[in-house]
């Protein structure tokens, strides 16, 4: 029996690999593939408020109009301006990136620049999407991010220790 997509949860870290590749960790790889109808397609975009990227599978495309409707309705109720075209461009401005069976993918340089991605990626589950952080950028976030910061530090230290053993 096929299960409905349950969202993205958990944390992981991927050091930058050779040829500018990163690895989509197994936990996230499976969820992206499941939410992309079995396709190995990762969708990435710049987060609209945080200095990081967002990732998700292809199925999220079908939620974006509903999200726009909700945001527009909320803005109306609060008496705030809402530019639907700009927000739609932000939400739909993602790039579809293929990844191989091992989860390796190449991130476009412009996204690396927007997310200030350098030596590695920290992945943080967020339900309908997940975030991809330069660990130094995550450390600049407030106390609301204490658990993510602690997980990130532990995962980076673990990766560095493994790297020294090689």
User: pTM of the entire structure?
Assistant: 0.86
**SS3 of the chain:** CCCCCCCECCEEEEECCHHHEEECCHHHHHHHHHHCCCCCEEEEEECCCCCCEEEECHHHHHHHHHHHHHHHHHHHHHCCCCCHHHHHHHHCCCEEEECCCCCEEECCHHHHHHCCCCCEEEEEECECCEEEECHHHHHCCCHHHHHHHHHHHHHHHHHHHHHHHC
Q: Domain 11-165: give its CATH code.
A: 3.40.1550.20
pLDDT digits (tens, 9 = 90+) for 38-93: 899 999 999 989 999 999 998 888 788 888 889 899 999 999 999 989 888 888 78
95-98 and 130-133 strand pairing = unpaired
Q: Name the residue ranges covered by the structural domains of the chain.
A: 11-165
- State the pLDDT confidence band at 1, using cuts at 50, 70 and 90: very low
pLDDT digits (tens, 9 = 90+) for 91-139: 878 999 999 999 999 999 999 999 999 889 999 998 889 999 999 999 9
């Amino acid at each position: 029996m096929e299960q409905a997509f349950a969202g993205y949860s958990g944390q992981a870290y991927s050091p930058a690999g050779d040829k500018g590749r990163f690895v989509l960790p197994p936990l996230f790889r499976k969820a992206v593939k499941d939410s992309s109808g079995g396709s190995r397609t990762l969708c990435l975009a710049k987060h609209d408020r945080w200095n990081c990227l967002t990732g998700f599978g292809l199925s999220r495309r079908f939620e974006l109009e509903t999200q726009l409707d909700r945001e527009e309705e909320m803005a109306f109720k609060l008496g705030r301006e809402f530019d639907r075209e700009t927000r739609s461009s932000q939400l739909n401005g993602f790039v579809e990136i293929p990844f191989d069976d091992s989860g390796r993918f190449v991130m476009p340089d412009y996204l690396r620049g927007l997310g200030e991605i350098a030596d590695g990626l920290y992945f943080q589950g967020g339900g309908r999407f997940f975030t991809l952080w330069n660990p130094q950028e995550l450390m600049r976030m407030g106390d609301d991010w204490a658990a993510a910061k602690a997980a990130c530090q532990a995962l980076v230290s673990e990766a560095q220790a493994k790297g020294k053993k090689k």
